[in-house]
């Protein structure tokens, strides 16, 4: 029997954690290159995940599960962090959060494709509404917008959606927190090599404290702890219901960007986010 109250509380806590990801990444890329940041955060989270799996004596995944874990690792551990980090060199965290509002829709689309379902015409209408809101916002920001940053952000959302969908399917057999933990462990060798390769010759003594804080947040909370609460919430309260909480992430993130980074949240930015949230909710309703 599902525990709805605990499911909602765990899911909400996860969304609160994830909402700080883009502002924290923005802080981190002020002192670290996106390549070093991606490697370092994966290495830190991977070593923590390895310790957790060993302490709880979790069984090893089978050969087929390793293949799916490779997809999750490539998308969620490497692809999305790297692409979003590169994008945030060209935009503010607040600007990126408008695109983050498309993540639930991206996940749903990949879920539909992978499951062989046939969505209704209403689903695609809402999908186009959300995409149009993002495109319209981007086109009205010529003075500060970057085509490169916007393209990287759209690509990162697609990659993350694929990783979420693949992980959701794998969770049914392997378990929620185990999926992200094994995916992180899979990336440890690559992350170690990347950290060594992209470590600056001059060292990191000049990296400002906020950038270290951003690295710590995305490593411990965004890549590991947030997923533990997220998958626990989905399992306790039901995937369909609890996943709706993810629609709160852009608004919470905009608030954090304004509070912590003192970034300006323009009315057009907030309006686009609200339209996208409504579009995603409608698309999920008719998926």
Q: For residue range 257-280, what is the model confidence (pLDDT) as tens digits? A: 777 777 776 777 778 778 877 877
Q: Which residues span the domain enclosing 143?
A: 4-199+207-286
Asked if residues 191 and 42 have their Cβ atoms less than 8 Å apart, the reply is: yes
Token readout for 111 is 């879920």
Segment of 99-108, 144-153, 198-207 carrying the highest mean pLDDT: 198-207
Asked whether residue 62 carries a pLDDT value surpassing 80, the answer given is yes
**Structural domain total, the chain:** 1
DSSP for residue 199: S
Q: How confident is the model at residue 74 (pLDDT cuts 50, 70, 90)?
A: very high
Task: Find the mean pLDDT for residues 35-43.
Answer: 94
Task: Find the mean pLDDT for residues 169-196.
Answer: 91
**DSSP element (H, E) containing 110:** helix 103-115
- pLDDT given for residue 244 in this prediction: 67
Task: Find the mean pLDDT for residues 172-184.
Answer: 88
SS3 state at 56: coil
Q: Which residues contact 249 (CB under 8 A, 6 or more apart)?
A: 15, 18, 19, 97, 100, 101, 103
Convert the pLDDT of each residue in 83-141 to its tens digit. Answer: 988 888 888 777 777 787 787 778 778 877 765 657 778 877 887 887 777 767 766 65
Asked if residues 39 and 198 have their Cβ atoms less than 8 Å apart, the reply is: yes
Q: pTM of the entire structure?
A: 0.80
Q: Look over the chain and give the mean of its residue pLDDT values, rounded to a whole number.
A: 83
Of 165, 184, 191, whose CA–CA distance to 223 is shortest?
184
> Radius of gyration (Cα) for the chain, nearest Å?
18
Token readout for 185 is 């462990």
The residue among 144 and 71 whose pLDDT is bigger is: 71
The number of C-alpha atoms within 13 Å of 276 and in the hemisphere containing its C-beta is 29
């Amino acid at each position: 029997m599902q525990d709805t109250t605990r499911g909602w509380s765990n899911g909400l806590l996860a969304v609160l954690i994830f909402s700080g990801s883009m502002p924290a990444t923005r802080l981190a890329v002020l002192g670290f290159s996106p390549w070093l940041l991606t490697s370092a955060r994966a290495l830190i989270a991977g070593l923590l995940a390895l310790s957790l799996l060993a302490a709880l004596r979790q069984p090893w995944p089978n050969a087929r599960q390793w293949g799916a874990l490779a997809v999750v690792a490539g998308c969620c551990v490497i692809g999305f962090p790297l692409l979003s980090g590169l994008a945030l060199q060209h935009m503010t965290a607040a600007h990126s959060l408008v695109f983050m509002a498309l993540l639930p829709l991206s996940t749903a689309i990949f879920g539909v494709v992978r499951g062989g379902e046939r969505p209704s015409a209403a689903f695609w209408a809402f999908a186009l509404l959300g995409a149009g809101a993002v495109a319209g916002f981007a086109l009205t920001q010529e003075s500060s917008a970057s085509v490169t940053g916007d393209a990287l952000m759209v690509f990162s959302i697609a990659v993350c959606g694929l990783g979420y969908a693949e992980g959701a399917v794998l969770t049914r057999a392997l378990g929620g927190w185990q999926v992200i933990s094994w995916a992180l462990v899979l990336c440890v060798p690559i992350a170690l090599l990347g950290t060594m390769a992209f470590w600056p010759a001059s060292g990191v003594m000049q990296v400002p404290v906020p950038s270290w804080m951003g690295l710590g947040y995305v490593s411990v909370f965004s890549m590991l702890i947030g997923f533990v609460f997220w998958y626990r919430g989905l399992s306790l309260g039901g995937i369909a219901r609890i996943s709706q909480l993810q629609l709160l992430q852009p608004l919470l993130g905009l608030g954090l960007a304004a509070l912590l980074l003192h970034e300006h949240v323009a009315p057009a930015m907030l309006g686009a986010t609200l339209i996208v949230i409504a579009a995603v909710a409608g698309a999920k309703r008719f998926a």
